[in-house]
Structures are given as structure tokens and as C-alpha cells.
Amino acid sequence: MAAPDSTAVRTALWRALHLAVDPPPHVFADELGLRLAGPGEGWRDRDDMDPATAGRYRAGMVARARFVEDLVTEQAARGVGQYVILGAGLDTFAQRRPDLASRLRVFEVDQPGPQAWKRARLEELGLGVPDWLRLVPVDFETASWWDRLAAAGFAPDEPAVVASTGVSMYLTKEANAATLRRIAGFAPGSTLAMTFLLPAGLLDDAERDRHRATASRAKAAGTPFVSSFSPAEVLAMARDAGFRDAVHVSGAELDERYFADRADGLRIVRGEEFLVATTGATAGAADPGRPAASP
């Protein structure tokens, strides 16, 4: 039973650190990820938890989590009843938001070892796995995540929200294109929110240095970055895959949405952007890239 990878743990700790060191209003409130990770007393002494040097990365993690959750909230209000999280890691939506999650069928798709570890931790913490949460173990090297998802009770004829954050950079462009084609075939009214990395050449000097440092850490951890996309390229891929609509949501837009009025100057690191794409036709759909903000 393999523990979650360092990226999943770091994401959970950055979310917790946001509550610990950044003043209100908090963009995203998640302390359960810290409980799941169980990093021990000295976790805030880690180099990657330094509040000063890691602030922009921390902000990026909470912004992308909030953006997805706003989207899920909006789509659930429109009657969408399924939520698929690809590469779920230490995601805590089901535990933090039972008011919303219990109205959905939530599917967490992840590698078998880390997911078994997470299931055990949920039981150990007394949180358990409710009937509406389906943990879907998939060895992405040897099995089809789609087949496993269908076997877990996913209804292909009903719309869904699909979140894929912090995943696309670890896959080849061909694998990303195949994933887009599969999701584009979901029922009309489905929405995909996927993050992607910008090529270093599209970043300014300071952000390029941060990107290289992050890529170096990922490679050292055995999870090298494989793919990056320009906004035009990822939009073309989505349209070629068969999505009805596709929009690019930039880091600058996330900054404006979640951090514009903060007195502490907290801003997100540039380089990770969102693709938001929708399938088929659905009456009265809002702009998929700008879900209404939740309180």
C-alpha cells in the first residue's frame, strides 16, 4: 500500500498553510488534507513550506481548488449529478462539503496504492467512505480509467463535472489528447476543468526561473514534467477532441477573481492555467470559464 506522492502531500500542506499564515478572507478552507497527510509536528519547517518563498505556489493551489469547487457548486445547482476527480490525491471535497457532495455521485480516480492508503486513513480518522463516494483505483499504465469508472457506477448518459488538476503535465501530449477525446464524449452538458502548464518561453524571467525550479523538484521526485501547452494549442486540442465550447482561464484572471482586494499582496505563481470545456448542448448554460463565485 503506497503512500501518496510528494506532490499530493505538498498540495494538502499548502492548503493548510493558507489557513495558518494568510489573514482572512481565506480563498479556500481545507484542514482535512493536513489530517489525512499526517506529516508530523515539524511539517511547517520544510523548505517548501516557507511562507515567504512559497507564497505564490500556495496561492496557486488554493485558487485552483476554489475555482473547481465554484464550478462544481454552479453545475450541481443546474442539475448535474456526477463529479469525477482524475488524479484525486488527497482531495477532501467529499469530507469537507457533505452538504453538496451527498447530492452527487463523486468518483475519485487514482492509482491503486495511494488510493488504498487514503481509504485506510479515512477509516482511521473516523471519516469512512459514504455510499455516494466511489474510490476508483486505476493503474494508468495497464488499465483504462474509463472502464474502471463505468464499473464503479458512472452513468455515461448523464452529465458530469470532470476535474483534472495537476495531472496533464505528467502525461504525453498524445495521452492528454486521448483523455480529452474520451471526456468530450460524455453526455451533453458535461464540463471539464483541466489545468495545464505554459511553456517556459511564454513566461517572464522571474516566472521562468520559478518554473525551472519546480520542474527540477518534480524530476528529482521521480515525476518529471512531460507536457506543456500554449493556450491556443490546448484550445485547439479541445475543439479537435469534440468539445462544443472551450475557454482558457489565465492565472491573471484567477488573481483578479480571488486575490484582487487582499491587503497582504498574496498572488498566484504564473505558469499553470485552466482549460474549461463543455460537451453537447445544454439550455441556459453560463460561460464555462467564469462560474459564479460561491460565498
Greatest Cα pair distance, the chain, in angstroms, is 51
Cβ(121)–Cβ(57) under 8 Å? no
Over its length of 295 residues, how does the chain's per-residue pLDDT go in tens digits? 688 988 899 999 999 999 999 999 999 999 999 999 999 999 999 988 998 888 889 999 999 999 999 999 999 999 999 999 999 999 999 999 999 999 999 999 999 999 999 999 999 999 999 999 999 999 877 778 999 999 999 999 999 999 999 999 999 999 999 999 999 999 999 999 999 999 988 888 777 877 777 777 777 777 788 899 999 999 999 999 999 999 999 999 999 999 998 999 999 988 899 999 999 864 334 444 555 544 3
Residue-wise over 251-289: b if at least 16 C-beta within 10 A, else e? bebbbebbbeebeeebbbbbbbbbbbbbbbebeebeebb
| CATH, domain range 6-278 | 3.40.50.150
Residue 276: its H or E element: strand 272-278
- How much is the pTM? 0.92
Asked whether the beta carbons of 272 and 251 are under 8 A apart, the reply is yes
Nearest partner of 215 among 271, 162, 255, judged by Cα: 271
Q: Which of 55, 57, 56, 155 is nearest to 104 (CA)?
A: 155
**Hey, what amino acid is at 243?**
F
